[in-house]
Structure 1
């Protein structure tokens, strides 16, 4: 009983996949800004479909006008960036539909953005989508769980609080 009352509480939280597809190491993403870890720690996801949902509960802090990227501040204080495709900012919002706005509260699984993966690929863009924790120094550790096939809701990153 005392262990239950005074034992070490769980200091970790998880970030689940916002996209069905395949996860790869961030270092394998074909963009030096993401691959270097300059923007944070995380994974790349090769999408199997054009739907992005919230990987954490929190608040939308940035919804790019071009709809290719969204940032969420999680309830645990993690700053999450989901960047759909590489250099897709150049599409100026074409082939993207946003379902959220800045200041909106979201729960895990809420629809954030839909995109036409085929049209984006036809336009010459890589749809590999980095999912990052942009403030990893605020945590003890931020570690991808494993790489390979992933479904929406599967844990992709384990975050351990300080």
Structure 2
């Protein structure tokens, strides 16, 4: 009988390559880079089986967990796709967003304040793109997952957005 996977059977933790999360890692053939950074994102996260047993059957196939980041303008657009039946991670989309209405000085201050203490400010400056481009890439991503067709007027197919708080979609 095989022992259930435990903490000792997991691979050692490695930080995620933030360029990879933006779809811009150019070092996927560099062995040292691959040894140092994770490129699998959230695929190793365990599902809490006792909590999963309490999940009611859904008419949806996927939850799209959206958690926009920013204060004046959106600075980060992350979405995690979760299987609505098993509650397991399926895929993720993540882009840094370059504001268009803020001055470069103000952008620099915001990015330094939000991401500088984590060392992510350099990745943000290297990879951030305007919101229109982020939205186009996101539309391509959900279309590739067969969750959306522009021709259908924008309605999602068998998926729903989930947010944490009012800021993300300003519903109140």
TM norm structure 1: 0.28
Q: Which has the higher contact order (CA 8 A, sep 6+)?
A: 1
TM norm structure 2: 0.27
- Of Structure 1 and Structure 2, the greater helix share is in 2
